[in-house]
Every structure is written in C-alpha cells, then in structure tokens.
Amino acid sequence: MINNGNTVSIIIPVYNAQDYLSECIESVLNQTFENWHMILINDGSSDKSLCICEKYASNDDRIMVVNKENSGVSDTRNVGIDDADGDFIIFLDADDRIAPKMLEKLVDRITETSADICVCGFSKFDENNKTVKWEALDGVWHGDDFFNMFGKLYDMTLLSGPCFKMYRTKIIKDNNILFDVNRSLGEDLTFNLQYYEHCTSLACIPEPMYEYRTVKNTSLSNKFNPGKSEIQYELYSQVINFCERHNCLENNLGYINKVFFRQTYVQIQDIFSSDKTFSEKKMLVNGILDKYMTEQLLSSLKELTKHNKLVVSLMRKRAVVRLFMLVKVKNIIKSIK
C-alpha cells in the first residue's frame, strides 16, 4: 500500500434509502484502507435513513452526519464537497456498495502515477445478485495522450458518472467545481467536464470495484421524457466543445457521435414503450431522427455491434415501422432471458 498518510473523503447523499443504506455503509467499514472520512448527507428523508446514519456515526468517529431539508442530489453532493477535507474524494450512492479493496487500490494507483483522477471498472447487480461487469482499460494517460483517448474512454462509459472515480480534492476546491443544482439530467457529466478542464492526467484500473444496484422498473410507459433528446444534444455539444478546446476532436468525434447515437436509440425505445398512439410515436421518432441523426453523424460511428449497424441502416432509411418491430423483438428476447 502506497498511501503515505493520504486521506479519502467519501460523500454519500442519502434520500429514503433505508432498505440498502446499511449495506452501503458496511461496504466502507470493510475497506482494507482505513484512513477515510465518511460524510452522510440526509436529504430530507421521510423513512428511517437518518436513524441509520446516526447509529453508525455514534459507533465510528470517522462518520459525519449532515441533516438538511430535501434539495436534490446535486445540492446534497455539493454540501458533501464543502465538508470534505481529505486529499481525495469519492462519491458513493446510498443504494450501491464498493469492493473491499477499492479505496486501497485507487489510492495506490493515483499516488504512484501522480494522476489527477483515477477510474476503476464497475458492475451492476440486481435483487437476485445477478451481476454484469464493465472493466476499464489499464493505463495512465498524460497531457495530449489523455485528451486523444477521451472519446474512447467516454464511449466505454468511464468518464460521465461521478462514482467509481477518485478525485483530487484540491482540484475541485481550488476551481470551485460543483454539481449544477438546476439540472436533473446530465449534472454528472457537466461536473466531470469542469474537472477534466483542470486535468493533465488520468489513470485507470480495469477491475470492477464499484457496484451499482439496479432495481427493476415494471412501468415502461413512465420512462419517456419528451425533453430528453434536447438535453442529450446539449450535453453532446458540451463534449464536442470540450474536445475542440483541447484540439482533440478529430480523433474523438466518431466515439462521441456513437454515444449520442446510443442515447438517441434508447430515447426511441422509450417512445415505442410509451402509452402514446402509434401515429404519435411515429411522429416523435421521425422528428428526433430528422433533427439529430444526420447522415454526417451516422456515417462517422466507430466500432458498432451488428445490432447497432442494423439500427443505423433503419435510421438512414427513416424506416420507423421496421425500427419499431426490431425494438419489439429485442424487448421480447430480453424478457425471456
């Protein structure tokens, strides 16, 4: 272990998390790295979350509890940032958990490489403990190498969320980097883009050590958000502008476009699963395809799966009915598995 006395502040927003909160906290207590400070911020929970937080804090002086009125996850994380005094910060959601060696390995990696941020792989598990793993790349990238790898790392979903990352507290506080409280979608990415503006290096550990809990959503008709495509396009534009500022757009554009394509395809699937009439669905999908899925974008996509190649072909032809049938078959197969 190469921690050299380094300390880690663990920021955990808590809102009505009584069913999973103890498991989350215990995963921190079970860490092989012990020099941490946990900040539990109760965001106006109406269940027993605050009692659980206070019980753990009474037994371990490394745990601090902040109780406040409900204001959303962005403001809650910002409160945690304000109270953080460790050398490094990690964000942990109250229904997730971390592997026992996550802190040790991230601290060792970020210290030995002098990286500005360290990212590890992650996994997702359900109520039956069925787990799907996403490994990160193994490497360290400095300066132009980092910016030229940006698109590939972004495509691998390693750069967007705040979890499974270790940040340097000094970079966050010196540059007043905070989560946007006016956003309900994409606030994680905008926070990270602010942080990456002040990064000169990034290190990755392949091993999936952050564990997301997935709760099955039985109501597909409630997933459609009519304004989501515009928000996603705004975020896409932010990433494009970031790469332009760092003179790395040419190397990264195909990967960035692929992420936006995937997000748009998910939005189309949500439209097809909504309770709107089929004519309304067709109108909405055609509107999204015409506005965002241009030939220039579709022709630039890199490393597509066979399924997504078929989706691109149908998008090009504006074959909405066939696209609908493809989504329907995909959902049937998914429900059988």
Question: Which whole number is the average pLDDT over 177-184?
Answer: 94
SS (H, E, C) 208-273: EEEEEECCCCCCHHHCCCCCHHHHHHHHHHHHHHHHHHCCCHHHHHHHHHHHHHHHHHHHHHHHHH
Burial per residue of 47-83, b for 16 or more beta-carbon CB atoms within 10 angstroms, e otherwise: eebbebbeebbeeeeebebbeeeeebbbbbbbbbbee
Higher pLDDT, 10 or 127: 10
Q: What rounded mean pLDDT belongs to the chain?
A: 93
Please tell me what DSSP assigns to residue 1: -
**pLDDT tens track for 54-110:** 999 999 999 999 999 999 999 999 999 999 999 999 999 999 999 999 999 999 999
**Average pLDDT value for residue range 251-258:** 96
Q: What is the mean pLDDT of residues 287-300?
A: 95
pTM over 0.85: yes
The partner residues of 117 in beta bridges, in order of sequence, read 167
Interior angle at CA 114, CA 113 and CA 115, nearest 5: 85
Domain ranges of the chain: 8-213, 220-336
CA distance 293 to 311: 11
Residue range 296-301: average pLDDT?
A: 94
Residue 218 reports pLDDT greater than 80: no
pLDDT on residue 2 = 44
Residue 219's pLDDT band, with cuts at 50, 70 and 90, is very low
Q: What is the CATH number of domain 8-213?
A: 3.90.550.10
